[in-house]
Each structure stands twice: as C-alpha cells, then as structure tokens.
Chains A and B, each alone.
Chain A
Amino acid sequence: MNPAVLLVGLVFIPLVAALVAVILPVRFRRPVALLGALAWPLLLVPLSIAVARDQTLTLVFGGWTPPLGIGWRLDALGLVLLWVHALAGIAALPGAWHRFGPKVVAAAPFWPLWLILSTGVNAALLAADLFNLYVSLELTTLAAVALIATDDGIAALTAAMRYLLLGVLGSLMYVLGVGLVYAQTGSLAMDQADAAAIRDVALVLMLTGLMVKAAIFPLHVWLPHAYGNAPGPVAAIMSAVVGKVALVALWRIWFQTAADPPDLLADLLGLVGAVAIVYGALAAYMQPRLKMVIAWSSISQFGFLMLLLPLASQTAFQGAGFHLLAHGLAKAAMFLAAANIVTVLGSDSIRHLPGLDKRMPLEAFTLALGGVTLIGLPPSGGFTGKWMLLTAAWEQQGWFWLVLIALSGLMSAAYVFRILALTCFHPARRAVHELHARPPKITSLAALLLALLAVIIGLYPHPALELLGRGLPGGAS
C-alpha cells in the first residue's frame, strides 16, 4: 500500500470526528473528540518512516491532477510541524478535557472546533498547491477565532474579532497574489516550474498576507491579545502550530514558488525579523501578565524564524526547522502551565506569581524548562536550532545575523528570568490567598513532559536534523 494514502487520515479523521461530534448530544462530544484527536497522531509513525525513506509523499485525489484536483504532499518540514501539532495537541487534551466538561456551556462548540482546527492545520501543512493552502489556512483561522471566542470575555471576543478581521485581510491579500500567480503561470502548484515569473506584486501580496497570519512584526498586533486571552489549551495549540503554519507556508512560497527571490528582499525580511526579535522581547519583558509575556515571546521567536530567508542555506533551514520544533513544544508547554496557573490563582498577573514554586512546583518547573529552550541555553532544543543558524550565518559571513542570533537569546533571557525570579525566588508577600481547585495532576504532567521533550530533543536532534537536512522546503536545494 502506498503510505501516502495515510495522508488522508490526517485530515479526515479529525474532520469526520468533528462532524460526528456536532451531530451527537453535547455529553458525547468530548469522548468522540478525544478519540479523534488521539487517532490521527497514530498515523504519524508510519508516515515518519515513509518520509524518512522516500523524502516526500505525494497524494493526488481521484485522478484529478492539479490545478483542478487537490494534491497533497508531505515533506520533512511538514512532518516536523505535524509532530509538534500532535504532541502539543495531546498534551493540551487533559487540560481541555478538564476545562470543557459536559456541564460547561462552551464545551458544545469547543470540541468540534478543536477538531476542525486540527483538520485545518493538517490540511495546510499537506497542501501542495497555493489555493488549497488558502482554503486550509482560512479554515484554521476561523476555527482558531472561534476557539478564542469560547472564552466569552470582552477581551477575548475583541481579540477574536480583531484576529478575524486582520486575518481575513491577510488571506485576501494572499489570495490576490495566488490569482496573479495563476495568471502569470497558469499553475497553482507550489513548486512552480516557471518560478522566475513569480515576482513583484504576486509574491509581495502572498508574503504580506502570510506575514499577517504569522504575526511577524509589525503585523503582529492581533497576536498578543488573542493568545493572551484565549483559553489555555487553545493558546497552547495556537502558539505551537497555528502561527507557524502560516510561517511554513511563507517559507515554502519563498523557496519553492519564488525560487529565486531577490537578495535585497530577503535582507529586508530578515531585518523585519530582527526588529521583531527585539521588539517582541522588549514588550514581553514589560508585560504584567504571564500569558501576555509568553504571547509576546512568540512574536520575538517568529522574528527569529524569519532569519531563514536571508540566510537561506541548508544549515539555516535545519536550524530554523529545528527551532520551530523546539519552540512549538516549549511554548505549548508554557501556555499549558500558564493555564493551570490561571485556574488555580484565578489570575495570571505576575504579581500573583510569587511563591508559585511551592504551590505549583510542576508548573514552575515547566516554565523554567520552557524558558531555557526559548533562551536557547544548551543543551536544549532551542540551542540546537540557534547553533545551526549561527553556523549558517558564519558560513555566509553574515556577521550581522550572527551577532543578532547570539543576542536574541540574551533578550529572551531578560523576560524568562524575570518570570522565574518572580515565581520561585520572590518572597511571597503579595501572593493571593484564596486558591481555586487544582486541576488534575495529569494536566501539569502533560505540560511538564512537553517542556522536557523540548529540552531532550536538544540532546538527540539527529532524526529531525536528518529529515530537515535533505533540502530546503519543498525539495529545492
């Protein structure tokens, strides 16, 4: 059997589960969704083996060839992000299970939406043509907005609305670009044969649209509030994959569709990333709320990932891809921990954090481990990614990028250690007194395991690096 068939499962298992869940009464939605969410990651094992053997898997539906038909392909980058998605999703499940029980009003939409989000993300990662990508991204955005809105606070709703409006603006720009590409080349495939033609307006429209979705500074404004106000598990999965899906799409278009983009543009985009790194870290350092700190940190880290564009080498790709993996795991873990903290303390204001290490040692530890990865201290996954990028910068004598990459860790350290100092070492003078019921321990453990994983992959990065080392996104080299 062709392993590419399994790709269908990645998209259709959550989709079908979502449909089933919608049909069923509310109290059955949760177990069905759980089954669905646990089922599709199982496919990743055979798929990984297949990708490791065959490099990419391609699937074309029903004999209809692109551009009219739908084609999917799975490459190393997609696989890595699928793993992040799977792991973060599974780790978020206990928290979601606990929070969205059958008696909770928001549970009714939550579980189907959760599955639809998975569907959208998986489809976006598999998309082999530009339009298909648009559809998947749109699905993802809508599901994410809806999930954010399950919080039902004014802040969350406003954030969701803003996300929706800006996201749609971004998608429309993207789809305009897609239209122009089709006009120029008559093809929607991502790996354009006539890549040189994809220039200027089309490319710029697509890039800008995707940058909005990926929250690259200064197009990031929707992100902090959206992540910061979303329910914990949602924030976790969103920070782990949703933003990154757009980023991956951006990479693919950059390296694949517009195979030979001008260096000047690359440098400009790298510069934008550089500003994002600094600005995001600075803002994260000044946030008064834990979740906002973590959210802003994402903006900084996404900027970091933009550095792939100017560096544009195999090593840089390995580094950026690996950073994607490590950051996804760490960030999801931190959001999950933050979610538990909000549950117990009733707030995630950093003023309430002192003494946390005694009340919630597992969460504190998770934050610490995740923070270590964000900073990129060895030996963590963050370090591996950083080191590969550094090497890439060295190989190209890109001194500016080299110094920037090195300094980025320092800037992350500022906000991470601020949080750690407050959580663990501050005399608990102003800590809240009334504590809410503690979520089950498995939620804490799940977050911790995820954070541990983010560190451990730094010790054994070979499989991922091996996969990522076979060529730039989409097989270009």
Chain B
Amino acid sequence: MAPWLAQALPPAVVLVSTLAALVIFVAGEAHQRLRIWVNLIAATIKLLLVVWIGLAVLAGNTFMFRFELLPGLELILHADALSILFASLSAVLWLVTTVYAIAYLERSPNRARFFGFFSLCVSATMGIAMAGNLMTLFIFYELLTLTTWPLVVHNGTPEALAAGRSYLRYTLTGGVVLLVAMAWLYGLAGNVEFTPGGFLAPLVAEHRIALSVIFAMLVAGFGIKAALIPLHGWLPKAMVAPAPVSALLHAVAVVKAGAFGIIRTVEDVYGLELVAELGMRIPLIAVAAWTIIIGSLLALREHELKRRLAYSTVSQVSYIVLGIAVGGLLATSGGMVHLVHQGLMKVTLFFCAGIYGLLLGVSRIDQLDGLGRRMPWVSTAFTIAALGMIGVPPVVGFVSKWYLASGALAADVPWVVGVLIASALLNAAYFLPLIRRLWLTEGGALAEMPIEIGALSRLALVASAVATAALTVVLGMLAAHPLSPLSWVLEIASGYAPW
C-alpha cells in the first residue's frame, strides 16, 4: 500500500462524516433530499473505507497518521485490529441508524441540526476508534461529549434540557478527571503510543502509587461514559432524546467510547499484568460486577420502556469492562466481542422502542400489551434482541457470555460466573415480561396515533430494526466463521492475553 494512503486513510475515515456534517449544516433545513443523500453516501463511503482498512490490516498493512499537536504531544490516528473492531461497528450501525433516523424524524423540525451533529458524533467516535495514543483518544472523547450534547437536548423540552445538563455535568467532570490523569501520566511517561501490553511497566518500581491513582482516575473518567455505577446517573435521563439518539448513545458512540477507553487503558497503556500487579484488577472486576448486578436491579424497577433499556445498558456495557479486567484469551475476547454484540442488540431494542413510541405513542411497559400482533416484525426484532440480552443462544449475547464465563473460570475468578448468571437471571426478569406482554397479553384499547409518516419511512424504520436483529442472529449463528467479530476478537485478544 502506498505510504501516503497508509497515512491518509485513518484521518479520511474520521473526516468523511465531518465533511457530511459541514454540508448538512451549510445546506440548512430546507434541502431535505440533499441531506438524505449526503447522509447515506457518507455513511456508505465510511463503511467501505473501514472495510478497506480492515482488509488491509488483515493483510498486514499498517496505517499511521501523525500530527504534532503540541511539542511532544502528537495526534496519532492508526488502525490496529481493535480500532477496526470498533470502527466497523460504528460504521455499520451508523449506516443503519442513519436510515432509521431519516425515517424517524421525517416530519420533525431542526433536522439539519440533528443530522449535522449526528455526523459529527460519528466522526468523534471514529476518532476514538482510530486513536493511537491517549491524548488523541481524549481529544475525540471530549469532542464526542460536545457533539452528543446537542442530540441529547434536541427536543428542547425542560426534561431534555435537564437531561442535557446532567449529561454535561457527568461527562465534563469525567473529562476533567481524565485531563488531570493524563497530564500526570504524560509527565511521568512522556508521549507514548498505545502499545499492546502497555508501556508503563518500567515505571512501576518508582511510581507505584502514582500509577495506581492515575489508573483509577482514567477508569473513572472513562467509566462515566461507560456508565459504571455510581457514575451512571446521566444515562437514564438521556432517554428523553429521540430514539435514534438513544440508539446511538447506547450502542455505538457514547457508552462504547467509555468502554473502549477502558479497554485501551487496560490493554494498551498499562497492560493487564501491570494492572494486576498494582492491585487494581480485582477492584476493577468488582466494580464491573457490581455495575452489572445493580444496573439490572435498577432496570427491574423501571416502568418506562426506554429507561429500562437504559439501565440494561448500564449493566451490559460493564460486561466489556469485566471481560477486559478478568483477562486471559477467553474473557478478553468475551469482553471485546461484547462491544459489538451489545451494540447490535441494544440498537435493535432502541429502534423498536422508538418505533413503538413514534407510531403508537407507547412509552410505558404496560402499554406493550398485544403489540406483537399489531407489529409482528418489530416485535420479533425486539424479542430476538431481548433474548440475546438474556444470553439465549444462538443470539450473539450468548457468545459473549460463553466466553466471559469460561474465561472467568480459566482466569481463576469463579465468582464472576455467579455474577454473570445472576445478571442473566435478572435480564430475564426484566426482559421476559416485556416479551410476554408483546405476544401473550391481549392488547389494551390503545388507539393508534395519527401516523404522520409515509409508507417508505415506515418501511425504513422497520427494516432497520429487522436488519440489526437479523444481524444479531446471523452473527451468533456464524460466530465461528473466520470473518465474524468473534474470530476477529480472538485474534486481537491473543495479542493481549497475559495469562
């Protein structure tokens, strides 16, 4: 591959959607057709680019873009297997979510603003995926905060504004914590790129405590977006945003960015061995386990559909952290692959919840009665994704759980299996009643809302939900296929696993 191409592609992946955002902002509200095309074309191009890079990485090419931001502080965009994992997830789901969002917001105001920030948000996510050092990751992480906030408050209702405030409070504080941690870390270690297995080991003799504190701060900073309890408070409130935003927040961008940051911290900055040596591994596992359980319990308490889904995210995203912290080939793979799997399942759930809300005005759980018959496709998609969350094979959730649990045993933390099982039971406890209501309870006298949405849009909405649901099943059924996320992740994890 030509050197200039190896340099240009990573920023290109990031900039594609920035460009789209610019066009959308400049074109303004009126040019709907242009906006749709720009959105779709940019999403497709981005997907193709990611696939291209992915195949090239598979073939052994390296991609590296460097830019000296400050003296001794570089902006590095690179593409390793882990980047590709996250990038391809974002690219695929961006395409689907764009289709969904176009249909979802067919008649609503302020679409230019919405789609502009939507694209910027994906830009930031791509930047996070491609980041080659902590600083780059941080920069895009903050950009992500900035670009998602307009989406969260998009509706402009008092609740939305309150949610936006809460979101900012949490994420900006997280950013500050990260900033301090990074200033400290850069001071100690200088400007170092992500290195599989970490690069801090030489410092441990001298700066043991400092490294521990920095690690805790980094995890806390990223943990706010990853919604580790008790840093999760913003996530359920952010539910007031339009459904595509929730889907994006929960599946692609924000919480995933946090989880991805933790992955990078643990694997590429510290290295799990060092984390264990600092005595931070078990606490990290404990935090993740605690989040998994408490998140599920909180979800059980909610009667608002999207809020329940939100708490479910809180719980599920911690699987990723759990897998990374447990370590070893199996658990690391389980955690990383959950990045993709949880994304697919959760995006489906939110798509469906959005469709129910938009077309039927359904927001509470007790309004779900009998919807299976009225919207069989959507409800089937919802059911599949929910079952996947519980971990029912052959949906992808099972694959994650399988690897996580067996990895926990292999890494000699058997109690984690108990956590996973408890979580699966709790998941069942809060998802199965929904499924029962959908299919087995007679519908109430819920009047159909006057649907102001065209047939094509309706089709797009349903199709996106069905597509992602189908993907969850297909990826689960073909988990062992050499091109599946699982195989990809196993490849990555074999480079990391210290035990």
Interface residues of A (CB under 8 A from B): 357-358, 361, 372, 375, 377-379, 383-384, 386-388, 390-391, 393-395, 402-403, 406-407, 409-410, 413, 417, 421, 424-427, 459, 461-462, 465, 469
Contacts and interface: CB of A to CB of B under 8 A. Distances in A.
B458 interface: no
15 contacts: A377-B143, A378-B143, A379-B69, A379-B139, A379-B143, A386-B179, A391-B186, A409-B175, A413-B168, A417-B164, A421-B164, A424-B150, A427-B157, A461-B70, A465-B70
A402 B180 contact: yes
**10 closest Cβ pairs, A-B complex:** A378-B139, A390-B183, A394-B187, A425-B153, A406-B176, A425-B156, A406-B180, A427-B156, A377-B142, A413-B172
Contact of B179 (A406, A459, A469): A406
How would you classify the secondary structure of chain B's contact residues: helix, strand, loop or mixed?
Answer: helix
A32 B286 CA distance: 72
A383 B142 CA distance: 11
A372 B150 contact: no
Given A387-B73, A424-B150, A394 B183 contact: yes
Given A378-B143, A421-B153, A427-B157, 7 more contacts: A379-B139, A391-B183, A402-B180, A417-B165, A421-B164, A425-B154, A465-B71
B326 to A, nearest CB: 32
A473 to B, nearest CB: 19
Nearest to A417: B168
Contacts of A461: 69-70
B183 A409 contact: no
Interface string B136-155: 00110011011001100110
B183 A387 contact: yes
Given A394-B183, A402-B180, A410-B173, A462 B113 contact: no
A378 B157 contact: no
A357 B113 contact: yes
B164 to A, nearest CB: 6
B402 interface: no
Residue from A409, A425, A459 having most chain B Cβ neighbours under 10 A: A425
Contacts of B187: 391, 394-395
Nearest to A375: B172
Contacts of B199: none
Interface string B156-179: 110011001100100011011101
Contacts of B143: 377-379
Residue from B71, B175, B183 having most chain A Cβ neighbours under 10 A: B183
A284 to B, nearest CB: 16
A456 B177 CA distance: 25
A426 B154 CA distance: 9
B184 interface: yes
A390 B180 contact: yes
Residue from A375, A394, A407 having most chain B Cβ neighbours under 10 A: A394
Contact of B70 (A358, A384, A403): A384
Interface in B171-226: 172-173, 175-177, 179-180, 183-184, 186-187
Contacts of B71: 462, 465, 469
A459 B69 contact: yes
B68 interface: yes
Contacts of B186: 391, 394
Contacts of A410: 172-173, 176
Nearest to B176: A406
Contacts of B175: 377, 409
Nearest to A390: B183
A462 B164 CA distance: 35
A421 B165 contact: yes
Contact of A462 (B68, B138, B149, B176): B68
B339 to A, nearest CB: 24
B234 to A, nearest CB: 14
Nearest to A458: B69
A417 B168 CA distance: 8
Nearest to B161: A421
Interface in B21-48: 28-29
A425 B167 CA distance: 15
A390 B70 contact: no
Given A425-B154, A426-B156, A387 B70 contact: yes
A220 B340 CA distance: 53
A348 B172 CA distance: 27
Given A421-B164, A427-B156, A461-B69, A377 B183 contact: no
Contacts of A407: 176
Interface in B103-149: 113, 138-139, 142-143, 145-146, 149
A383 B176 CA distance: 12
Contacts of B168: 413, 417
B69 A425 contact: no
Contacts of B184: 394, 402
B70 A409 contact: no
Contact of A403 (B113, B145, B180): B180
Contacts of B156: 425-427
Contacts of A395: 187
Residue from B29, B138, B172, B179 having most chain A Cβ neighbours under 10 A: B179
A18 B4 CA distance: 53
B138 A409 contact: no
Contacts of B75: 379
Nearest to B73: A387
Contacts of A383: 139
A361 B180 CA distance: 35
